[in-house]
Amino acid sequence: MTVVTPPVVKPSDQARSDGASGPAHDVKRAHIRAVEAVLALVRQAGDLAGLAGRVTTMASAVVVMVSLVYDVTLIAIAQSASLGGPQATTALVSYGLFAAVEHIFLLAPPLLLPLGLILLRTPILPRPLAMLAVMLGVASPVLGLAGLFTVTVTANNNGPVGALINALVALDGLWIMAAAVILLVRGPVSSRPAAVQLRPAS
């Protein structure tokens, strides 16, 4: 039986993870910022009450909850590894949970898929960018299932599937940043078509 050794964490790293800054806090903050950007797009599109809007809201809540579990495992690894002794077992278990939670991010309801379907019906973002969001959303659970059977705990995101997963996560982040930049440059765009003014008959 192969024993997975958790990454060595120095006490200084453990202390940083307990405070307002540190790797766990940075991960959580990045996920929350991404969720805020996605929900802002849905709100601007005026589809929060629609089916796609509700699915996006649910997926956002799942991402935040999974992120909190992810942060807890990072903190547990840091604390247990720095204490040593019997606490090393907790570090091993936490590392296994940490690796498993990484799969959940892709297996959870895709965040960009319902958002892309909403954006395809509105002029808020260019249509190619909305279509890219749909494609990224479709690829997320597909690669998540593939990674579940091919990416191992001993070497997270290894092999060709792992490389595709890393590329997908990077593209998701780049998509959100691109959407934010376009909104800043173009300014707010009405999601409703302009009303047609009828001229009175002469």
Q: Where are the domains of the chain?
A: 11-186
Residue 45 makes CB contacts below 8 A (sequence gap 6+) with 53, 118, 119, 121, 122, 124, 191
Q: What pTM was computed for the model?
A: 0.69
Question: Which token pair is 159?
Answer: 């092999």
What pLDDT, in 10s, does the model give residues 101-137?
A: 777 777 777 888 899 999 998 888 999 999 999 999 9
Return the closest-CA partner of residue 107 out of 55, 57, 152, 142: 142
Which tens digit of pLDDT belongs to each residue from 46-65?
A: 877 788 888 888 888 888 88
- Helix/strand/coil for 194: coil
Q: Percent of the chain beyond pLDDT 90? A: 11
Residue keyed to tokens 């996920």: 31
DSSP string over 100-159: HHHHHHHHSPPSHHHHHHHHTTSSSS-HHHHHHHHHHHHHHHHHHHHHHHHS-STTTT-H
Q: For the chain, what is the total number of helices (H) and then of strands (E)?
A: 7, 0
pLDDT attached to residue 139: 92
Give CA angle at 146 (144, 148), nearest 5°: 70
Q: Sort 38 into a burial class: Cβ within 10 Å, 0-12 / 13-18 / 19+.
A: buried
The four Cα atoms 164, 68, 114, 42 give a dihedral, to 10 degrees, of -130
Question: How many residues are present in the chain?
Answer: 202
Structure tokens at 26: 């940075």
Q: Are 166 and 157 in contact (CB under 8 A)?
A: yes
Give the C-alpha separation, 63 to 30, whole Å.
Answer: 11
Q: Residue written as tokens 């907790």?
A: 90
Measured distance CA(169)–CA(167) in Å, rounded = 6
**CA distance from start to end of the chain:** 90
Q: For 68-82, 96-110, 152-166, which range has the lowest pLDDT when averaged over its residues?
A: 152-166
